Amino acid sequence: MSALFSPESILTFVGAGNMAEALVRGIVRAKLLAPQGLRVTDTDRRRLEHFQAAFGITGFACNGDGVRGARVVVLAVKPQVMAEALKGIGAALDPATLIVSIAAGIPTHRIQQQLPAGRRVVRVMPNMPALAGAGVSVYCLGSHATEDDAKLVETLFQSVGVAVRLDEKHLDAVTALSGSGPAYVFFLAELMMQAGSEMGLDHATAKTLTLGTLRGAARLLEETGPEPEELRRRVTSKGGTTAAAFEVLEAGRVKETFVNAILAAQKRSREFTK
């Protein structure tokens, strides 16, 4: 068990969705807390039964019952039901409980406004690869959160990948870049596989080649040091096959369109935040 938690510590997930499950798996695997120190709440009885069967975690249909006595409560609900969830737990929370929200688009001050005064809130933007233990999570502190809270949250989310701390003003950019980012990579994989099929490769072969290429390229970026632009130039010989591909991409203004797409995601995130 981690030194950040005592044997009596309780961590409750409000919401039993995929991200809550990924975090539970990471926490248990990293031995940050034993299953008896974890709880989950949800209105879906099947999800509660799944958490019990898979991890030995106690489930609660009532949010208030589940958060009572918890040292940390992770709000893992959809943004549109956040207000209802907060209303259901406010009276049951211990004054010392740390609130961690992973709901997109809801700033810390709005969560604080719906809880008793002085509550400590940390907002986290994880992404989908956390389901495979390879996520990127960016967190920011609310006005009452402490450095000890930051250390605890960073440790929790490092159990499912990388955790980065930023000021909250950057969270809309984070949502657009790393939050939505996996979808951009999936789209690229989809297109590469489609092209493979159009060139006569069977689906299994096109998928193997695509995934291996993406995996290898990511490893080069991470381990060798050069910037992406430099690595791209090294692959692109003048007059060669890669150069022919990039002539088409440049003619279609793909670079400009792709950057604009990410900026559009940031704009939409800002609209949700207001």
Domains and CATH numbers, the chain: 11-171 (3.40.50.720), 181-273 (1.10.3730.10)
- Rounded-to-5 percentages of helix, strand, coil across the chain: 60, 15, 30
Among positive and negative, which fits the CA dihedral 178, 179, 184, 185?
A: positive
| The pLDDT of residue 274 | 74
Indicate the burial class of 75 (C-beta count within 10 angstroms; 0-12, 13-18, 19 or more): buried
Question: CA 44 from chain center: how many Å?
Answer: 22
- Per residue in 87-139, pLDDT (tens digit) is 989 899 999 999 999 998 899 999 999 998 999 999 999 999 999 999 999 99
* CB-CB contact of 101 with 124 (8 Å): yes
Confidence of residue 162 (pLDDT cuts 50, 70, 90): very high
Question: CA 232 from chain center: how many Å?
Answer: 28
Average pLDDT of the segment spanning 35-55: 96
Q: pTM of this prediction?
A: 0.90
The answer, yes or no, to whether residue 1 has pLDDT greater than 70, is: no
